Amino acid sequence: MSGGVDSSAAAVVLRNQGHDVVGVTMRLWGGESDTGCCSVSDVDDARRVAQQIGIDHLVFNFSEEFNQRVVDPYVKSHVEGTTPNPCIECNRHLKFDKLIERGRELGFDAVATGHHARIVEQDGVKRVARGDDAAKDQSYVVHMLSEEDLEYVMFPVGNMQKSQVRELAAQAGLRTASKPDSQDVCFIGTTIGRAGFLEPRLTFNEADVFDTDGNKVGVVPAVELVTLGQRRGLGLGGGDIRYAVDVDVPGRRVVVGTEEQLYAPTSTVSSMSWPHQQDIALVTSTEVLVQGSAHGERHAARVEQQGDSFVLHWVRPNRRIAPGQTVVFYDSTDTMVLGGGIVTA
């Protein structure tokens, strides 16, 4: 229970179905926070909701693991010049791996979350599928769940519209019924932002900015903060709109170009997650739909395996996805998750 309306409603659904429910809030970020699902007020909201619906509430302190698995890699990615996705890694290592491990240790029959995704059975195997509310679908962020995980995990609100979730919470009189959804990285406070968070944790370095003809056109004060596709903050002044089309953090060099120069025919992906190993053959033999962000558009691609990596051959040239970002493969109906990985090139 993160303190939001979705996990609150999930607890109500399970209680109403007759399950013996215990609410669990994970204490993850130990520093200051006024965003996401780690603030003191969120923990209090979860505790109060548990009281309202008459279930026990526990707090698991996973702050050390959170720092090791999410925060430290987030900082390291900026040093190496990749664009991290901390919410994906939090789901991978904390909200599922660690929580499932703790749930099994304590003898619980299942772990349920408030994610808008579904678990469906197809050809005798369980798969993650998109939630019924397309606007709130979160299958992208839970794509890493294994076949074994899917036997233990439940998504009680995955077949509900967000309006139904809020209505259920309101009918139960929950304090979270009208609470806004959290949108930001939980450890990046709104007052300091990404730069303020990173500044005491790494050294910012200036970088020269060049156009695609090799002409120096500007300087950025912190190359570690520049992302592929970035348009603002490149110190270019007026004139034509240009984007960061190449970012070399170790080389202290940024190249800018037109929007058309952001497009590429292929992307390379590694660090794969496959719910079922047989899906490798399926993905490499059929055209799949690929999603490159939590609520991004889907683009068709043919997938070629090259050792431990997979090359996505876009059916139509696609805007390049920054290395470090996650892509998820869906079947041709844009419903079932087939796998996912991290872009390397």
Is residue 247 within 8 A of residue 227, CB to CB? The reply is yes
> Which listed residue (37, 38, 87, 90) is catalytic?
90
Is residue 8 within 8 A of residue 47, CB to CB? The reply is no
**In CATH, 5-114+156-171 is 3.30.230.10:** no
Buried b (16+ CB within 10 A) or exposed e, 219-235: ebebbbbbebbbeeebe
Domain boundaries, the chain: 5-114+156-171, 203-257, 263-343
Which tens digits make up the pLDDT trace of 217-253?
Answer: 999 999 999 999 999 889 787 778 899 999 999 999 9
Q: What is the mean pLDDT of residues 284-301?
A: 94
Q: Measuring CA to CA, how many Å separate 179 from each of 44, 98, 174, 273? A: 13, 27, 10, 33
Query: For residues 342 and 345, what is the distance between their CA atoms, to the nearest angstrom?
Result: 9
Is residue 175 within 8 A of residue 49, CB to CB? The reply is yes
The CATH code for residues 263-343 is 2.40.30.10
Q: What is the mean pLDDT of residues 18-36?
A: 82
Q: Is the pLDDT of residue 314 over 60?
A: yes
Query: For residues 10 and 8, what is the distance between their CA atoms, to the nearest angstrom?
Result: 5
Q: What is the per-residue DSSP string for 163-214?
A: HHHHHHHHHTT-TTTTPPPP-S-TTS-TTTHHHHHHTTTS----EEEEETTS
| Domain 5-114+156-171 identical in fold to domain 203-257 | no
Query: For residues 134 and 150, what is the distance between their CA atoms, to the nearest angstrom?
Result: 21
Confidence bin at 39 (pLDDT 50/70/90): low
Give the predicted TM-score (pTM) of the model: 0.92
> Which listed residue (37, 38, 87, 186) is catalytic?
186
pLDDT at residue number 187: 87
Q: Is the pLDDT of residue 71 over 80?
A: yes
Is 87 an annotated catalytic residue? no
Q: CATH homologous superfamily for 203-257?
A: Adenine nucleotide alpha hydrolases-like domains (2.30.30.280)
Is 38 an annotated catalytic residue? no
Is residue 130 within 8 A of residue 115, CB to CB? The reply is no
